[in-house]
Amino acid sequence: MRGAMIDLNAVETKLSERTIQSVFRTKYLFFTGKGGVGKTSIASATALTLATRGKRVLLISTDPASNLDETLGVTLANHPTPIPQVPGLMALNIDPNAAAEAYRQRVVTPMVGKATDVEISGLREQLSGACTVEIAAFDEFAALLSDAGIAADFDTIIFDTAPTGHTIRLLSLPKAWTDFFDINERGASCLGPHSALKNQESRFAAAFDALKDPQRTTVVLVARPELSTLNEAARTSSDLRQLQLTNQILVINGVFLATDKNDRLAASLEEKSAVALGKIPQGIQALPRYIVALKPFNTVGLTSLRKLLEDAPPTELPMGPAASSTGVRATLSLAAMAKELANDGHGLVLVMGKGGVGKTTVAAALAVAIGKLGKPVHLTTTDPAAHLAQTIVGSLPNLTVSRIDPKEETLLYSAKILASKGKNLDEGGLALLREDLASPCTEEVAVFHAFAKTVFEARRGIVILDTAPTGHTLLLLDAAGSYHREMLKKMEESAPGKLTTPLMMLQDSTQSKVLLVTLAETTPVSEAAALQDDLRRAAIEPYGWVVNRSLAASSTADPVLMQRAANEHEQLQRITNGLATRLAILPLMPDEPVGIERLEQLLTRESTVY
């Protein structure tokens, strides 16, 4: 298996300019995978290569936190935008908020003149939640899949999707909603009257038909040569097969070969790649498999994207130390942050950021540090693809680990609603209530209630919440805002001082702290900056930033890693020049920070000046 890994130029295993047209033959391509594996880069490079070879290509982002604009260097909208200097290539972002507003207008407009102002206002409030944003974005997605005009205009349509948990949810919606329509012919859900949704039923069915047709759709599972991302690819593959999406291939991005075999970090990275490729999970072993080598440059801009799949090896590596001091100074260590956060003995810490930046590692390291200080701490996650158990690997006094499981929370929430609202209903009313609870919206509501419970638990102890990747987390915070507005409305005639909502807890810096985690790379930093802006608009001020897996903070001498380290300097200075008030910088470690002992080593290895 190691020999297969090092043969990067083998035509049959390398995703490159020569092989790409034979690999991707269907009209629709879905790129998915764990956050940070390079889905957007691989999808964009694929689109660029196919267009350069004469194909008419449409590249679409379905990620609520899309970075496609930055990757392509073009400002995109929710309609196809030509990419300059690339004839045949167009791209668009599905804007969830714009889609949600358009959806609200379609539902509300027919009610004007037939309902009172109060009823219409109530309906708009009902349609303000995260579930509406999600289904509206899916409606746009389904339209693109079922639009005969779009299909005729392009040879290939590529979807760059959100990280896997959110993508599975998105791809489940066609079947979930068509099943829901089959059993529910009346009433209203959290998305408004069912009649409004029934109008979209044929579109949803057409979208589902396209997804499960192996002659039309290929699912591209993108992973890194790391066991965690390969295991998630295997889980995703299984979930998608259950949804009848069976035409799948595996792309392993960032395969690394050390140039300097004496460099401990470089040798460790190569060895980890070899071990991971030797332990590909059984569920995806039989899939067609292609690799992309780790490049010494960031894949932002058309020039870099063209080089990503080039057949020739990269050149122009740096000749001297690339990670020399840049004058960037971390304001405090992660261990010092842990001491600050533990001072009051209670409070909520939300660890947020783009998928793949190491939020789970940072959250786990903080929890271990606080537990070692003798403070009880509860570490939990809202990430549908939770990896806390694999990161902690062991037990520690004062440390409790859990997760918010969407399926489990949905069952608990549905049982609670049936027990309370259903106890006095007749058979007909009970049947209607069960139909409503069968709606895909129920999962969003259930997860939010579990999230709210976790927020309030932090009034009595320290809770560290490892959140889902940014787009999914923003939907959860949007749900907190919707709940906040609903509760304020209900309390208008009561004493508002007695009301505390999850949003109010998040806005109170004495109760909650938000920690933004990023890599020292262009796209993760830009996404963290945009997330910070979103939080500030919601009156939530971030507590600090953590730059994780920094090569500039390591002592590598490998030429490829040194050039990547040099590329970090601009982003480190960008963070310190106005983005972060508190900053910790963690080095990339030769040993994966898995297990309590290695998490402690991560806390002690960090330095302060770069």
| Residue positions annotated with a catalytic role | 36, 38-41, 63, 523
- Rounded CA-CA distance 379/581 in Å is 25
Angstrom distances, CA of residue 65 to CA of 62, 373, 465, 534: 9, 36, 20, 11
Q: Mention every residue, 6+ apart, whose C-beta is less than 8 A from residue 546.
A: 334, 337, 362, 515, 516, 517, 518, 583, 584, 585, 586
Cβ(17)–Cβ(311) under 8 Å? yes
How would DSSP label each residue in 165-201? HHHHHHHHHHHHHHHHHHH--SSEETTEEHHHHHTTH
Pairing of strands 512-518, 544-550: parallel
- Counting other chains too, the contacts that 262-271 makes at CB distance below 8 Å and 24 or more residues apart are 262/557, 263/556, 263/557, 263/558, 263/561, 264/590, 265/554, 265/555, 265/556, 265/558, 265/561, 265/588, 265/590, 266/556, 266/557, 266/558, 266/560, 266/561, 268/590, 268/591, 269/561, 269/590
Token pair 């409070």: residue = 347
Token pair 């694999």: residue = 390
Cα 233 to its chain centre, rounded Å, is 14
- Rounded CA-CA distance 245/268 in Å is 36
Which helix or strand (DSSP H or E) is residue 254 part of? strand 248-255
* 535: Cα within 13 Å, side-chain hemisphere: 27
Which helix or strand (DSSP H or E) is residue 552 part of? none
The pair of structure tokens assigned to 518 is 């990023």
How would DSSP label each residue in 116-127? -HHHHHHHHHHT
Longest CA–CA separation in the chain, Å: 79
**Helices (DSSP H) in 184-280: which residue ranges?**
194-198, 201-212, 227-242, 264-278
- Rounded CA-CA distance 193/123 in Å is 9
Buried b (16+ CB within 10 A) or exposed e, 401-438: bebbbbeebbeebbeebeeeeeeeeeeeeeeebbbbbb
Cβ(163)–Cβ(355) under 8 Å? yes
* Listed residue (527, 480, 485) closest to 64, CA to CA: 527
The pair of structure tokens assigned to 580 is 């972060």
How many of the other CB atoms lie within 10 Å of CB of 287?
A: 17
| 12 class by beta-carbon count within 10 Å (0-12 exposed, 13-18 middle, 19+ buried) | exposed
Q: Which amino acid is at 481?
A: G
- Rounded CA-CA distance 299/310 in Å is 13
- Rounded CA-CA distance 308/314 in Å is 9
Three-state SS letters, 500-532: CCHHHHHHCCCCEEEEEEECCCHHHHHHHHHHH
